[in-house]
Amino acid sequence: MKSAEVTRVERTFRDDELIVSKTDPKGRITYCNDVFLSISGFREAELLGQPHNIIRHPDMPRTIFKLLWETLEQGREIFAYVVNRCKNGDHYWVLAHVAPDRGPDGTVTGFHSNRRTPDPAALEVIRPLYARLLAEETRHGDRKAGLEAGFAMLQALLADKGLSYDQFVLGL
């Protein structure tokens, strides 16, 4: 199945469950827990060693992943709402906490993500926001210009609210 093929069927997980994965410094999956396997529909062997975009859903704006990677590359943690694609094209929403892992000498050895089921009220804000960002990104013929325009739209929205990205996400 191509990544663009989606069913529009939503899957959910419980408040007391956490979806966990770890990656190497390039974002290739090195670990995923049973909740991850169960909701995504992949077998462990299909995920290990693969780039994490194997579960990328086409509804996700690239702006959010740009922010994610820029934040991680600065050695910082990030919280983000993400919709992910299951193997069969279904999807599930998460609130992810993604952070660097460090070795004894402080160098970044990889990253991990712990994901909780999101508050439905937060998704009422995030769904239309992501749709707007995606529309802005795709409105431009040029990929790079589209990403810059999406990023500028997010920054303008945050400036308008007088909030940092973290304050916005964690305040939802």
Ligand X SMILES: Cc1cc2nc3c(=O)[nH]c(=O)nc-3n(C[C@H](O)[C@H](O)[C@H](O)COP(=O)(O)O)c2cc1C
Name which position in 11, 56, 127, 132 contacts ligand X (CB under 6 A).
56
Q: Which is nearer to ligand X, 77 or 124 (CB)?
A: 77
Query: Site for ligand X (CB under 6 A): which residue of 23, 40, 63, 71?
Result: 23
Among 11, 18, 27, 127, binds ligand X (CB under 6 A): 27
* E strand or H helix at 131: helix 120-139
- Nearest to ligand X of 54, 172 (CB atom): 54
Contacts for 55 with CB less than 8 Å, ≥ 6 apart: 40, 42, 84, 85, 86
The residue among 141, 134, 135, 157 whose CA lies nearest residue 61 is: 134
Nearer to ligand X, 40 or 153 (CB): 40
Q: How far is the CB of 25 from ligand X (least distance, A)?
A: 9
Q: How far apart are CA 128 and CA 159, in angstroms?
A: 18
Residues 6 or more apart whose CB falls under 8 angstroms from that of 148 comprise none
Taking CB under 6 A as the criterion, the residue among 6, 47, 55, 95 binding ligand X is: 55
86 lines the binding site for ligand X (CB under 6 A): no
Print the binding letters for residues 107-146 with ligand X: x by CB under 6 A, - otherwise.
----xxx---------------------------------
Side chain identity at 144, as an amino acid letter? K
Phi, psi for residue 114 in degrees, rounded to 5: -115, 125
Q: How far apart are CA 6 and CA 14, in angstroms?
A: 23
Assess contact for 71 and 97: CB atoms under 8 A: no
| 53 interacts with ligand X by CB under 6 A | yes
Interaction residues for ligand X, span 60-79 (CB under 6 A)? 60, 62, 65, 69
Retrieve residue 59's tokens: 């509804």
Contact footprint for ligand X (CB under 6 A): 21, 23, 27, 52-53, 55-56, 60, 62, 65, 69, 82, 84, 98, 111-113
